[in-house]
Amino acid sequence: MKNLTANVYVETQWVSGSPTHPSAGSNSSFVVTSRGIVMIDAPSVPANAIEWRHRIEEKGKLIYLINTGCHSDHTAGNYFFPVPGIAHEGTSQAIPANLLFTDEDQRRKLRKNYPLCADLVNDYHIRLPSITFSDRLSLHIGDHTFELIHLPGHTPGEIGIYLPQERVFFTGDNYANRLQPKLSDCCPLELLDSLRRMLAIDDVEYFVPGHGEVANKQAVREYMAVFQSFVDIIREVINKGMTREEAIDQVHLPLPDSLVFLHPEPEQLKKDIGHLYDMLSKPRERRVL
């Protein structure tokens, strides 16, 4: 756990996935305020969630949990933190589908993926955010202001969180430092817009990504340039008349040596290319966010 500022703590070293397909877990953070602790994203592995809860209890009382997106690596651990949850309204609606819809299905998945944690999920149930918003939400807690901003991209309901007093911005999975996350739920042009909006905030020293180490503005710019190249490549093949099937079979998305795949399976890469093709083939005004 890193003590990023006097009041902000971040864990960037979780491992999730499954025993056969381990992956870099999503980052979890919390902010200590004079009125209590606000947590951002929950560890998905039950044992990690319990450990994170103990770390928070050493610093004070947890009062809110914010989810930056709907994917299970950010939300499956909500169960272990029985406090009011906050998320974009689209994220709240999408969480059940990302957690297999039913409590029992999710219990089975957790027991299968983490057999050593089986006893921790006997009473597991899907915990949805109780507070939602559509565009922006400002939380004034003690001396801190949390600016929650809808920034569609990695998922339609993705949000960013700006803490002006700490000069910290939590990006969710719109930014993954030195990692390429899966793109199968991505809104590509909206993601580029959202990255520009993040970078336009002047007084940010630390960008806390959804995955990977804490970064600065230059690292976010480099990530945006890589994603822009993906968009340009897929747009070019669409303009040339290449079919979706041809694109999936023939297109290669080049990555700099500094960027590694978080989901390296060839089948996932084909899904990513197919999804980008589908999204970039649609008139933007017809996309539903």
CB atoms within 10 A of CB 108: 14
247, part of any domain: no
Q: Round to whole Å and give the CA distance between 195 and 176.
A: 11
Residue whose pair of structure tokens reads 């029985």 in the numeric block: 82
- At residue 287, the pLDDT reads 45
Element (H, E) at 244: helix 244-250
249, part of any domain: no
Encode pLDDT of 176-213 as tens digits.
998 877 788 999 999 999 999 999 999 999 999 999 99
Residue pair 138/163 in contact (Cβ under 8 Å)? The answer is no
- The total domain count for the chain is 1
Residue pair 186/153 in contact (Cβ under 8 Å)? The answer is yes
178, part of any domain: yes
In degrees, rounded to 5, the angle at the alpha carbon of residue 217 between the alpha carbons of residues 92 and 202 is 85
DSSP string over 189-238 = HHHHHHHHHHHT-SS--EEEEEESS-B-HHHHHHHHHHHHHHHHHHHHHH
As given in the structure block, the two tokens for residue 32 are 């200590």
Closest by Cα among 164, 151, 159 to 31: 164
Q: Round to whole Å and give the CA distance between 180 and 187.
A: 15
259, part of any domain: no
At 9, give phi and psi (nearest 5°): -120, 135
Number of helices (H) and strands (E) in the chain: give both, helices first.
Answer: 8, 16
Q: Which residues of the chain have pLDDT under 50?
A: 286-289
Encode pLDDT of 214-227 as tens digits.
999 999 999 999 99
179, part of any domain: yes
- At residue 182, the pLDDT reads 78
Dihedral through CA 5, CA 9, CA 12, CA 14, nearest 10?
170
Q: Round to whole Å and give the CA distance between 120 and 118.
A: 5
Which residue segment(s) compose the domain that 150 sits in?
2-225
Residue 89: strand pairing partners:
none
SS3 of 32, please? Answer: strand
CATH code of the domain covering residue 21: 3.60.15.10
219, part of any domain: yes
In degrees, rounded to 5, the angle at the alpha carbon of residue 61 between the alpha carbons of residues 161 and 6 is 55
As given in the structure block, the two tokens for residue 271 are 């899904």
- At residue 284, the pLDDT reads 60
- At residue 257, the pLDDT reads 76
- At residue 150, the pLDDT reads 98
Q: For 67-183, list the strands marked E by DSSP.
A: 85-88, 131-133, 136-141, 144-150, 159-163, 168-176, 179-180
270, part of any domain: no
DSSP string over 126-137 = ----SEEESSEE
SS3 of 86, please? Answer: strand
User: For residue 158, which amino acid is it?
Assistant: E
Model's pTM, two decimal places? 0.94
150, part of any domain: yes
